[in-house]
Chain A
């Protein structure tokens, strides 16, 4: 897989993944938490919402087990999911080592390291 791009808006979020810290943007004016990082708050249009760390707890909104990868080098099957964080925002992510995924399953944050030192947030079940 090619290196994941980042830009000046998202770089601080990606930098936080180097220390395995998952961040969301929180608007100082209306309090909305959002992902991915954007220039403006989607709740009230205010500029530059600040990043803050999250607990890493969430719930599976939905998931899909993929049996035919877009890239033939990727091993199948694998599970992609929408996880709703306790703080509100939904992430597209992967479920790791979840043998029986289901909607509304509680999950916790884990990390998949990237070759460049960053990491992808993924989720697994609480042991």
Chain B
């Protein structure tokens, strides 16, 4: 493949007091600055999560008339999907410089609802909402319950995922929990129960934040500010919208999505140096590692391989509602060697896996600098 990521940046994170439009423009400006490009160089825009026509809105905000846009809505995995679509648009000549961006001020605006909010036009409003599940939390809780039952594990096995995320956050100055100190398994187990077996500390943060990445052709990338990070492969899988649809909670779209990305990249799981894997809830990490082929079913809780979620992840770094773009930002930084205390030494190949909705949509990207 002949497309590279040439710019990557976060907007302000945490509790910003800023508007979403402000944070979005900030993310785009910083990512372009990182690439050594200007707003007027951009002719492709992909974004979601704000307004009825998100990419159109962002183009207007930036004063651009792009030749390619994408506002596919698929939850937090969509940014990995945008990488595939942007790479295809660049290779097809539809645009030359594409920006993928997301921002949310959900913590400042207090706009997050634990019930999620059902659209009355969907079957779920008839067959799901009447039972008052938390959305998406209760779906992941039922997945966790089945996971613990099947592999004869207990809550402490999942709690260690939150503990590991905190250890990474302590090495990341931008992490929401950077100054919070280490977390213990006992603290995770003692946190208020929300939707069993998941307690408050098994769940991702609710913060402001976002980021942007910039893609262009590999030829053009060679003349820009930083070493290009190549898009080696991508894959995706969309499996369900309703909590009752999947036959097996422990068999997710990550398996097909990952297999497609590995095949396209001609890379094997054991060749990956660092993993950014959407940790909406603690259970998402071991199950994701298993489904992506890094370890056998049930072994994800004992993972001792390459580092996962070096920022501290959604659990301890930042979770602005859709984490996918920030997984890409961190992968780019790791591959460039920019991560300071949390740098994975010699990282040359990264896997990014996004998940959206209730494990509904999965998208995987393999990046590399070799």
Q: Please, how many angstroms separate the alpha-carbon atoms of A91 and B114 in the complex?
A: 22
Which residues 117-153 in B have Cβ within 8 Å of A in the complex? 120, 123, 125-135, 138, 141-143, 145-146, 149-150
CB atoms of A62 and B132 under 8 A apart: no
B149 touches A4 (CB 8 A): no
Q: Are B126 and A91 in contact (CB under 8 A)?
A: no
Interfacial chain B residues near A65, Cβ < 8 Å: 193, 195-196
Contact at B131–A92, with CB atoms within 8 Å? yes
Interface residues of B in 233-253 (CB under 8 A from A): 242-245, 247, 249
Q: What 0/1 pattern do residues 73 to 86 of A give for CB contact below 8 A with B?
A: 01000101110000
Which residues of chain B are near A1, meaning CB under 8 Å?
130, 132
Which of B115, B133, B242 is the most central at the interface, judged by chain A CB atoms within 10 Å of its CB?
B133
Complex Cα–Cα for A69 and B135 (A): 11
- Chain A 54-69 per-residue mask, 1 if CB under 8 angstroms from chain B, else 0: 0000000111111111
A6 contacts the other chain (CB 8 A): yes
**Does B116 make an interface contact (CB < 8 A)?**
yes
B114 and A68 form a contact (CB under 8 A): yes
Question: Is B183 engaged at the interface, CB distance under 8 Å to the other chain?
Answer: no
Smallest CB-CB separation from A66: which chain B residue? B195
**A35–B145 alpha-carbon span in the complex (Å):** 23
Those of A20-69 within 8 Å (CB) of chain B: 35-36, 38, 61-69
Find out whether the CB atom of A71 lies under 8 angstroms from the CB atom of B115: yes
Say whether B134 contacts A70, CB under 8 Å: yes
Instruction: Count residues of B near A (Cβ-Cβ below 8 Å).
Output: 38
Contacts of A99-115 to chain B: CB distance below 8 A: 102-104
Chain B residues whose CB sits within 8 angstroms of the CB of A93 once the complex forms: 131
Closest to A69 in B: B132
Listed in ascending order, the chain B residues whose CB lies under 8 Å from chain A are 113-116, 120, 123, 125-135, 138, 141-143, 145-146, 149-150, 192-198, 242-245, 247, 249
- Extra inter-chain contacts (14) besides given A4-B125, A80-B132, A90-B247, CB under 8 Å: A4-B129, A61-B249, A64-B196, A67-B192, A70-B116, A71-B132, A74-B132, A80-B131, A80-B138, A91-B127, A92-B133, A92-B242, A102-B149, A103-B146
By Cβ-Cβ distance, the 6 closest A-B pairs, closest first, are A70-B115, A64-B141, A62-B142, A103-B149, A62-B146, A65-B196
* 24 A-B pairs whose Cβ atoms sit less than 8 Å apart in the complex: A4-B130, A10-B126, A38-B123, A61-B249, A62-B146, A64-B133, A64-B195, A66-B133, A67-B195, A68-B134, A69-B115, A69-B132, A70-B116, A70-B135, A71-B132, A80-B132, A80-B138, A90-B245, A91-B127, A92-B133, A92-B242, A102-B149, A103-B150, A120-B130
